[in-house]
Chains A and B, each alone.
Chain A
C-alpha cells in the first residue's frame, strides 16, 4: 500500500513549456485534490475531483487543467508555464466516512517542486 504518490518529484521548466504532474492513489478513494504551496504560505486548492470522470475548480484554477480518467489517477497539466507557477504542488486523496466516529482524512503525497524560469 503506497498511499499517494506523485511524479515527478522535481522539475524545471522554461516559460511557455508544458508539463503534466501525475498523482496516483491505491486506497480506492473517491475524492482527489491538487494544491499549491508557495514559500511561507498555506495550501491553496487548484482543482479537485469527487469521482472518476469529474473535475471542479478550486481557489486558484487559472493556468491549470486536470483530468480524472481513472479513479486512482489525477493529472494536473500546465499548458504554458509561467514563473508565477513556481511552487510546490501537493496531491491528496480523501476517504469520506459518513458515519460519526470514523475519521474523514486527507492523505497527501510527497509533493512536486516545480521551478519555472
Chain B
C-alpha cells in the first residue's frame, strides 16, 4: 500500500482558500487518490477522488501533478463549517482485497 504523509494541522481564516498537500511517493500505476472529511462525532465522508491532473466537484478541487507523487486538496473560500479532519488515501480497485488505510489526517481549523 502506498503510504501517505500530510500535515498534522492547519489554520485558516474564513473566506480564504485552503490547500492541503499529501505526499505519496510510492503510488502504484493502478492507485487513485481519495480524500475524506470527518466532522467531530461523525464518520468520515467522501469528498473527492482522482487519478491524474485535476478533478473538481461542488465541494473541492484535487490537483495531481504528472508524476502523481503528491496531490493537493483545495477548498475554496472556507467557512467555519469546514473545520474538520481531512484524510488522504491511496488505493486501487484492482487490489480491492487490500483495505484502504486511514492515517491521522490533517486537522483544519477555520477561524472567524
- Cα–Cα, bound, A31→B96 (Å): 9
Contacts of B101 in A (CB 8 A): 45, 59
B97 at the interface (CB under 8 A from A): yes
The one of A41, A58, A59, A111 that contacts B43, using a Cβ cutoff of 8 Å: A111
- Cα–Cα, bound, A108→B104 (Å): 17
Contacts of B34 in A (CB 8 A): 104-105
A-B contact number at CB 8 A: 61
Interface residues of B in 27-53 (CB under 8 A from A): 32, 34, 36, 41-46, 49, 51
Task: Report the interface size class on chain A.
Answer: 20 to 34
- Cα–Cα, bound, A15→B28 (Å): 44
Size of interface on B: residues with Cβ below 8 Å to A: 25
- A43-B44, A50-B96 known; A35 and B49 CB under 8 Å? no
A33 at the interface (CB under 8 A from B): yes
B100 at the interface (CB under 8 A from A): yes
Question: Which residues of B are in contact with A by a Cβ distance under 8 Å?
Answer: 32, 34, 36, 41-46, 49, 51, 85, 87, 91, 93-94, 96-97, 99-105
Q: Which 10 A-B pairs have the closest CB atoms?
A: A108-B43, A42-B104, A43-B102, A105-B46, A96-B96, A90-B43, A98-B93, A104-B93, A42-B102, A48-B99
